[in-house]
Structure 1
Amino acid sequence: MARGKGEGSIYQIADGRWRASIEAGYTRTGTRRRIVITRDTKTAVQVEMKARLRQIAESGIPAPGSSGATVKAYADDWLARRVASKRPKTMERDTGVITGWVVPTIGHKRLGSLTPADVRAVHRAILKAGRSPASAVRAHTAMKKMLRDAIVDGYPVPPRVLLVAPPPSAITDRTGPTAAQALALLTTAENDPDLSRWAAALLQGMRQGECLGLTWGAVDLDRGIIDVSWQLQALPYEHGCGGTCGRGRAGNCPQRRFRIPIGYEVRRMRGQMCLVRPKTARGQRLIPLVPWMANALKRHGDEMGMDTDTLVWPGADGNPRQRRDDLAAWHDLQARADVAHPSGRPFHVHEARHATATLLMEAGVPESVRIAILGHSQAAVTRAYEHVDPAQARAALEQVAGRIGIG
């Protein structure tokens, strides 16, 4: 019986061996492209042809020259293409895990010969090096995305490698300051120039980049609103010379430019420090100011001036504040206030937002409103921030409300 279209054909060649031919689309010049398999026996060629047809059914027709492509070769091309469409932070994270862990571990492997064991080898390499389970999960996510894209591009990645489960995540100890601790922090900072900076994090739920990128033009004290539409971020450079300047670092290239995707909105502040849009549309939001916060901002603005394009919380030299300096100031405040994480370490800057989420939840604020205030893209993210401290008493919350004016 004749084979149907796309089922391939088998025939014997002059030297006695058997050959199978499978139609595989067209070349760039428009001519037919075929996958040819040659084996010593008819049975052997039939087995191989069935395997190839099954692979095509599952993963699509392989790209020309894809059968010998290695993980490293594809990773180099994949990362280079993503620059045009991915945010700088996403590129930095994915490049770090792909070039730092995936390529050194399995970069020499052919895409078509990958096995679940290879995926797990990347997990083991990361954990054996003492990195956190979260790092292994991030690498797994990026690797899986890369291999999915390889399949779309026509490379014969075995589908089973995409079924490998990510490594288990560790139990996080992230939590925010309690209401009493938040009160202690704000009381200690009462005469500091940065009082409103820490209030923005603890009471308004603003992220570090959102605080450091806030300009007075986005603060409406009359209406009691902050427009969170930008955040401060250091953008990476790339060579603008096409590699002809002879300087290794892109930042030293006379024609350097920012490595950003097409359509990425940027307001340059100084050097690499720029204002960029939040990661998601929900991240752009209007936050109502509690009266206490509005008064703190007004006092701060009266002292430093409120020019529209001026940063609300700049560095000591008036330029954009570096994240490391902001972190150092946050740790110093905790030390002065005798406040620490339950484990004894200082709270991370990002953990200040946990306090906002918890207080909003305990006040009975609907989830939809909490999401709008915190700028989360999913309700599940907001729930991850909420931590109910059984030691918190109603009286303590009333003291916080009375002290900061949110009651």
Structure 2
Amino acid sequence: MADGRRRNRRDYGTHSVYQRADGRWYAAIDLGLTERGTRRRITVSAKTEPAVKVRLRERLRELDEMGDTDLSTRTTVKQWADQWLPLVERTLRPQPYIASRSAVRRWIVPTIGHKQLVKLTPRDIRAVADAQRAAGLTTSTQRRTHSVLRTLLTDAQQEGYAIPPRVLAVKAPDKAVSGRTDVPVELAIRLLGIAAELPHGSRWAAALLQGMRQGECLGLTWDQVDLERGLLVISWQLQPLPYRVARDRSSGFRVPDGYEARQLHGRLHLVRPKTKAGWRVIPLVPWMRSALLAWREIAPENPAGLVWPTAAGTPTLAKNDDEEWYALQTTAGEGHPDGRFYSIHEARHATATLLLEAGVDPTVITAILGHSSIVTSRGYMHVRVAPLADAMGKVADRLALGA
């Protein structure tokens, strides 16, 4: 301070103790405004009120010991992460939040949590990816964690903390070549033939012929199916939402601000697509329309009006849906050349490729698959050699070129 006086706890503004819906107790310390005019707060938490008060006193003591040193020069990555996670919990969709929280708690904090924000170096950022690489994690996981770390630090900078610019400029780990591809046409035809023998075979036609995502199929309701005009309206997805407190059903669900969700059964909810492009209307191919007409007559009744529920009328779990998809491949006697099963997501790759080979405009493919941009769709379009060779042969014939 200007007069040499040591700060006391009143100098740090007010603090409050409160309990959230998840039953956990929190204490917030108001540190006033940053140079940019945003309010700065420190939050500590504990399972009980007495415990959080103890942590509050410890944190205030730490602030006292720091004297008139600017807090932002002493704040560690862990201290900021403890403030950041409750903030993004209100804005991120449930699954991205869970992924971000996992990246922070399992890798970022254990690796560089003790580092002060202002003293971070590019080496510290790379250390997180190095730790994941040593653990045998893929470069895709490393890139996702790098993205979370960069967002965490960028948000800290916006709050007024001093983040070295060179830290934010560190390049993400190189992207590995993806093993995902499209289900071969010949296999897709066999799978559809096997599925046609099942009462609910239309479920797999939705994946292979219509390019629908798994959550879109499992969350499709009959009121979104127009069999007269041959159209499907895609506006919901089936997704499990996490409890505020893990495995505690009484704690309620973690739902961010502005997130539309309808509970169907347990953790399973109907949620809106993550982008506006996910809301779409797609035409039914004739086989699909006929299969749905037959299935509607015998489909299990269920309160939500789901098209493909379980025999008991409850929503189908993704893991059970996956098992049936693998069983189809087992019956067909063929899977991925790598020895694994094709994932259900790779059926969408097949749809994109078939549409491309049929000469469908890429922008139309983007609309059918519900991608936010044509760049995303192009990642699904695996052009085959045979159609290209056939096209080149036709060009050669037109030009009267011999063999």
Q: TM-score band, normalised by the shorter chain?
A: 0.7 to 0.9
Size of the aligned set, in residue pairs, is 331
Could you tell me how far apart the structure 1 residues matched to 2:197 and 2:273 are? 31
Secondary structure of 1:380's counterpart equals helix
Q: 1:93 aligns with which of 99, 102, 110?
A: 99
Could you tell me how far apart the structure 2 residues matched to 1:123 and 1:316 are? 45
In angstroms, what is the RMSD of aligned CA positions?
A: 2.5
Could you tell me how far apart the structure 2 residues matched to 1:278 and 1:87 are? 10
> CA offsets per residue over residues 185-222 of structure 1, 9 Å max, x none?
00111111331111101110100000000011111100
1:149 aligns with 2:144: no
Q: 1:304 Cα deviation (Å)?
A: 1.5
1:364 aligns with 2:359: yes
The aligned residue for residue 132 of structure 2 is 126
> CA offsets per residue over residues 342-385 of structure 1, 9 Å max, x none?
22211011111001000010111111111110000111110000
Q: Is the 8 A contact 2:300 2:311 kept in 1?
A: no
The aligned residue for residue 344 of structure 2 is 349
Q: 1:170 Cα deviation (Å)?
A: 1.0
The aligned residue for residue 259 of structure 2 is 264
Q: Is the 8 A contact 1:217 1:307 kept in 2?
A: no
Q: Is the 8 A contact 1:216 1:307 kept in 2?
A: no
Listed as ranges, the matches of 1:98-109 within 5 Å are 98-109=104-115
Q: Is the 8 A contact 2:108 2:128 kept in 1?
A: yes
Q: 1:220 aligns with which of 211, 214, 226?
A: 226
Identify the range of structure 1 (340-349 vs 363-372) with the bigger mean alpha-carbon deviation.
340-349
**Greater RCO (Cα-Cα under 8 Å, separation 6 or more):** 1
| TM-score scaled by length of structure 2 | 0.78
Listed as ranges, the matches of 1:96-245 within 5 Å are 96-238=102-244
Secondary structure of 1:233's counterpart equals strand
Identify the range of structure 1 (307-316 vs 181-190) with the bigger mean alpha-carbon deviation.
307-316
Q: 1:176 Cα deviation (Å)?
A: 1.3
Distance 1:296 1:69, change over 3 A: same
- Unmatched runs of 5 consecutive residues or more in structure 1: 1-12, 15-26, 34-62, 240-248, 396-407
Could you tell me how far apart the structure 1 residues matched to 2:386 and 2:229 are? 36
> CA offsets per residue over residues 201-254 of structure 1, 9 Å max, x none?
111010000000001111110011111000000001115xxxxxxxxx45243x
Secondary structure of 2:239's counterpart equals strand
Could you tell me how far apart the structure 2 residues matched to 1:374 and 1:98 are? 32
The aligned residue for residue 333 of structure 1 is 328
Q: 1:66 aligns with which of 72, 84, 93?
A: 72
Q: Is the 8 A contact 2:143 2:173 kept in 1?
A: yes
| TM-score scaled by length of structure 1 | 0.77
> CA offsets per residue over residues 265-314 of structure 1, 9 Å max, x none?
11110111000001100001011101111001111111126778311111
User: What's the % identity of the aligned pairs?
Assistant: 46
Could you tell me how far apart the structure 2 residues matched to 1:153 and 1:101 are? 23
Q: Is the 8 A contact 2:300 2:313 kept in 1?
A: no
Q: Is the 8 A contact 1:237 1:257 kept in 2?
A: yes
Could you tell me how far apart the structure 2 residues matched to 1:30 and 1:216 are? 53
Q: 1:114 Cα deviation (Å)?
A: 0.3
Could you tell me how far apart the structure 2 residues matched to 1:275 and 1:201 are? 19
Q: Is the 8 A contact 1:179 1:392 kept in 2?
A: no
